Every structure is written in structure tokens, then in C-alpha cells.
């Protein structure tokens, strides 16, 4: 079996980013920049007021001396003239500083009477002016290639004054669930021995949260010709095909055989982890195919450990950003582990990590409260509260 670190290293080595495309900025949130983004102009383009108040010439300014108010400057509608000593312009936050003016005195210190204004003692020392280019200069690099356009990064992208950006194409994902026992949620009670199909819904949500475009989600019975047809359609639609279940070696486990007519070439076939040993990754017809176990917990753990890095690589974000391990303390005991590397499900709060009582690979209710995975090396002894462990957001 392949070790966990080796399997992840193979993803990092073999998976290449998808092609770039240009999209309107309004459609770019959550995408990854394919090219560096430079500012088309400085910000601000000219000096602006940082407060509501009055723009004045500081030289010779005396508290209590009246100044003549000669106009007004608003954001988007600046004062067209020039300010001389003894004059003032009413100004508002973000408005351009008039020519000649070099200071903004806050309105709290101003006493206005008609066309005159007098400033009280104590209006300093701040000048309350944002200099031209004080945020960034024209032509500077604002966002590098590979940057995810988070809500914060979108501010910088828009500030660059560009209407379109070059981003990595969203990975198209097709999901195929397998198993005779599966029934659509809401219909399982109508058939004896049926269970609600739950895994593809969780995998779909995880893929979408990582920026993928889920183009299809289907389930198939354990019949090889049926599953081969589903595999054929999925490979036509997607960059990544995810198949759940059928990953063991039983007579009706067809997850790998269903892709055999399409030239399946495995990157790894099993990984020495618990849960999720049967997880596998390969290529068929130039598409990535990820096989996840059918048990819900196993499927979601392996999706977090392998699907998320796979999608990150396809979007030029890198495996290291997908697998950010942190050292956190235990809030409750952690039992000893067996011979395989184990990823225990846990809940995080201010006291630390609490391993869940139900660590069964088929658990579903426990998944709703698990928000961390604890990475445990093989044959790790039991740990007591307060012990540091390596954890990953789940």
C-alpha cells in the first residue's frame, strides 16, 4: 500500500493546473488568478481628505483667525479652483484635495458663520490627508498568479481598475455513486433493504466548496455494463470523476473495472490509512478518476485528504494550501491507534480537540459535529488531555 505522504506527493507531482480563461470581475470570486494583476493607476490618483472638514493651506494658519470659504469638494466632484492662504474649502471624506491645500482640519474644530470659518485651538497634529499613491502606485503588482480571489482579494482586484481577469478554469466534476442498496433520499422506506444515498451529497458539497463545478451526480446499481456506461458519460463531461463505493475486492465491486475499457492508469491503488484504505486515484481518457470508499465517514475523510488537494492542484493553488496541519492541544483522551496511520474525527472548541466517541467508518450523525481530523502515526500510544496533536480543518 502507498503511504499517505507518498500519495499526496504523487498528486503534487503529477497533477497540472487547468487552462486559463478570462472572466468578468463580477464572476471571478473564489477563482484562482492565472496571471499577475498590476494596478492600472495609483490609489488614490491624487491626494484626498481622510476626514470631513475643511481643506486649507497650513502655512501661516492661526487658530481663531477667520478664513473665507470659497467652495466645496465632494468625492467624485472636486473643487476646480485653487486655495490660497486665508481661504478654505469645505471637504468631505474621500474628496480630492484642492490645488494649493495641504491640510484637512476636522469639522469638529470648525465654527462656521456664513462664508467664514474659524478653527478652535487643538486641531492638530494630524493632517488628515491621504497622499496620492499612498495605497499603491501605478503599475505595482497587487495580486500574483496563483492567488485565490477571496472577498478581501476581490477588493484589490477591483482597485486595479480592470474589468476582466485571467483565472484558472473551474474543474468540472462528475460524481457516480455505486451500490444496489442505494435509494434517493425520501424513497428508501419504499424498498426493503434500501438505504438513503448520502455520500454523493457530501462529496458534491465538498467539491463545490473547493471551487469545482459539479456537472453531474448519478448513482448506479452493481452491474458492470451499467457502470461502464455511467463512466463513459462522466468522462465525457468532467475533468475529475469521483466514484463512491465498490472499491474493495468483492465480486460486485466494480469501481475500477468500470473504467478499465477507458484505459484506467492508477496513480495509487490503496493508501495505508484508517479510515479509507481502499481510496485510489488514476487517469482514464485524460481525466482524473478518484475512487472513494462507500462508507460515509471513510468517503468524507478521504475526500478531505485527497479530493481537496487534487482540486487545489488543478486550480494552481498547491497541495500545501489544501493540507494545512496545525498543532493543537487535546481536550479529552485519544485512544491508541493500530498499525495504520489514523485520522481521528474530533470537535474543536476553546478547550481544545475532543475526539468523537463514534469513530466508525460508517458513522453519519457524527460527521455533522466533526470539524477537525487528528493525524495519528501508526501504533501511537494513548494520549492524555493537553497533549499536542497535528490537526486539519475538516
What is the per-residue pLDDT across 106-146, written as a single tens digit (0 to 9) for each? 999 999 999 999 999 999 899 999 999 999 999 999 999 99
Residue 24, all three cell numbers: 468578468
Q: Beta strand pairing status for 141-143 and 37-38?
A: antiparallel
pLDDT score of 217 = 97
Whole-prediction pTM value? 0.89
Query: Which residues, given as ranges, of the chain have pLDDT below 70?
Result: 248-250
Going by C-alpha positions, the residue among 115, 118, 97 that lies closest to residue 107 is 118
pLDDT score of 249 = 65
* Chain mean position to CA 281: 23
Q: Domains of the chain by range and CATH?
A: 4-16+170-322 (3.40.980.10), 20-43+135-168 (3.90.105.10), 48-130 (2.170.190.11), 326-393 (2.40.340.10)
pLDDT tens, position by position, 9-26: 999 999 999 999 999 999
pLDDT tens, position by position, 304-345: 999 999 999 999 999 999 999 999 999 999 999 999 999 999
β-strand partners of 330: 353
Burial class (CB in 10 A: 0-12, 13-18, 19+), 336: exposed
CA angle 78, 164, 152 (to 5 degrees): 70
Going by C-alpha positions, the residue among 79, 72, 111, 114 that lies closest to residue 98 is 79
CA dihedral of 225, 230, 231, 236, whole degrees rounded to 10 = 130
pLDDT score of 247 = 73
Going by C-alpha positions, the residue among 167, 172, 169 that lies closest to residue 287 is 172
pLDDT score of 280 = 97
Determine which helix (DSSP H) or strand (DSSP E) holds 11, and give its type and residue range.
Answer: helix 4-14
Residues whose CB is less than 8 angstroms from the CB of residue 289 and which lie 6 or more positions away in sequence, other chains included: 235, 240, 241, 242, 243, 259, 264, 281, 282, 283
> 44 and 135 in contact (C-beta within 8 Å)?
yes
Tell me what the pLDDT averaged over the chain comes to. Answer: 96
pLDDT score of 253 = 83
> 181 and 171 in contact (C-beta within 8 Å)?
no
Residue 386, all three cell numbers: 493537553
Alpha-carbon span 72 to 146, nearest angstrom: 44
Amino acid at each position: 500500500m502507498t503511504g499517505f505522504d507518498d500519495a499526496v506527493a504523487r498528486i503534487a507531482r503529477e497533477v497540472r493546473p487547468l487552462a486559463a480563461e478570462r472572466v468578468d470581475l463580477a464572476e471571478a470570486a473564489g477563482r484562482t488568478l492565472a496571471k499577475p494583476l498590476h494596478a492600472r493607476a495609483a490609489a488614490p490618483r491624487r491626494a484626498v481628505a481622510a476626514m470631513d472638514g475643511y481643506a486649507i493651506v497650513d502655512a501661516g494658519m492661526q487658530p481663531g483667525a477667520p478664513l473665507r470659504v470659497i467652495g466645496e469638494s465632494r468625492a467624485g466632484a472636486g473643487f476646480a479652483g485653487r486655495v490660497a492662504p486665508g481661504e478654505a474649502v469645505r471637504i468631505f471624506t474621500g474628496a480630492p484635495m484642492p490645488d494649493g491645500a495641504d491640510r484637512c482640519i476636522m469639522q469638529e474644530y470648525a465654527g462656521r458663520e456664513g462664508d467664514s470659518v474659524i478653527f478652535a485651538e487643538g486641531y492638530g497634529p494630524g493632517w488628515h490627508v491621504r497622499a496620492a499613491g499612498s495605497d499603491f502606485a501605478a503599475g505595482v503588482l497587487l495580486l500574483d498568479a496563483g492567488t485565490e480571489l477571496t472577498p478581501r482579494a476581490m477588493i484589490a482586484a477591483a482597485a486595479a481598475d480592470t474589468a476582466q481577469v485571467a483565472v484558472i478554469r473551474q474543474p468540472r466534476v462528475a460524481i457516480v455513486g455505486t451500490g444496489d442498496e442505494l435509494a434517493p433520499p425520501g424513497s428508501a422506506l419504499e424498498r426493503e433493504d434500501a438505504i438513503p444515498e448520502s455520500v454523493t451529497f457530501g462529496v458534491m458539497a465538498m467539491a463545490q466548496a473547493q471551487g469545482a463545478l459539479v456537472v453531474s451526480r448519478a448513482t448506479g446499481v452493481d452491474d458492470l455494463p451499467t457502470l461502464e456506461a455511467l463512466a463513459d458519460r462522466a468522462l465525457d463531461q468532467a475533468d475529475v470523476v469521483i466514484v463512491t463505493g465498490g472499491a474493495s475486492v468483492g465480486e460486485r465491486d466494480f469501481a475500477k473495472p468500470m473504467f478499465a475499457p477507458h484505459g484506467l492508469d492508477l496513480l495509487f491503488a490503496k493508501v495505508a490509512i484508517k479510515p479509507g484504505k481502499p481510496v485510489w486515484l488514476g487517469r482514464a481518457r485524460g481525466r482524473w478518476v478518484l475512487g472513494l470508499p462507500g462508507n460515509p465517514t471513510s468517503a468524507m475523510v478521504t475526500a478531505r485528504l485527497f479530493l481537496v488537494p487534487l482540486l487545489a492542484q488543478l486550480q494552481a493553488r498547491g497541495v500545501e494550501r489544501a493540507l494545512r496541519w496545525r498543532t493543537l492541544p487535546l481536550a479529552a483522551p485519544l485512544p491508541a491507534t493500530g498499525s495504520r496511520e489514523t485520522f481521528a474525527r474530533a470537535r474543536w472548541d476553546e478547550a481544545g480537540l475532543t475526539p468523537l466517541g463514534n469513530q466508525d467508518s460508517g458513522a453519519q450523525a457524527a460527521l455533522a459535529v466533526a470539524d477537525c481530523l487528528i493525524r495519528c502515526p501508526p501504533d501511537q500510544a494513548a494520549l492524555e488531555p493537553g497533549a499536542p496533536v497535528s490537526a486539519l480543518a475538516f
